[in-house]
Structure 1
């Protein structure tokens, strides 16, 4: 079951990433940021539960950055850098 949740969390990050690389979605869009936040939060929780500290650091920071960017987008702010 844990593996299925990990795959699900990974898919939530990888699908919008691939779509952004192919020019189908903006990396600053709300759906992109929301999916990244959800996927990275899932993976961060699993990493914490299994004491995978490096992975927890990676996914925890990813979740925090995604959350901050999503909040900014919801408030109508644009990102500082577009490249």
Structure 2
């Protein structure tokens, strides 16, 4: 049950980040956007532990890595 709740929170974080970009509240290059996606993907991935849903594990793992890359780029850009 706890894992399902964590996964749901992760999905809500990812969707809220996407909505914030679409509504122009956040910039897709911002640290906040990447951080919301990183934490969200991490929570969804955590909720998939022990699952045989390899497609979802692959998607969330890639989402986590890409968000980490975006976060690093955003952080570097803000510290130049």
Q: Could you tell me the TM-score, scaled by structure 2's length?
A: 0.87
C-alpha distance in 2, partners of 1:44/1:6? 7
Gaps in structure 1 of 5+ consecutive residues: 78-83
**Structure 1 equivalent of residue 66 of structure 2:** 65
Question: Given the alignment of the two structures, is residue 51 of structure 1 paired with residue 49 of structure 2, yes or no?
Answer: no
Q: Is the 8 A contact 1:37 1:62 kept in 2?
A: yes
Gaps in structure 2 of 5+ consecutive residues: none
- List structure 1 runs of 4+ shifted beyond 4 angstroms: none
Structure that is richer in helix per residue:
2
**Structure 1 equivalent of residue 43 of structure 2:** 42
Q: Looking at both structures, which has the greater relative contact order when contacts are Cα pairs under 8 Å and sequence separation is at least 6?
A: 2
C-alpha distance in 1, partners of 2:47/2:53? 8
Q: Is the 8 A contact 2:14 2:41 kept in 1?
A: yes
Q: Is the 8 A contact 1:44 1:60 kept in 2?
A: yes
Number of matched residues? 77
Deviation at 1:46, TM superposition (A): 2.1
Q: Could you tell me the TM-score, scaled by structure 1's length?
A: 0.84
Q: Is the 8 A contact 1:45 1:56 kept in 2?
A: no
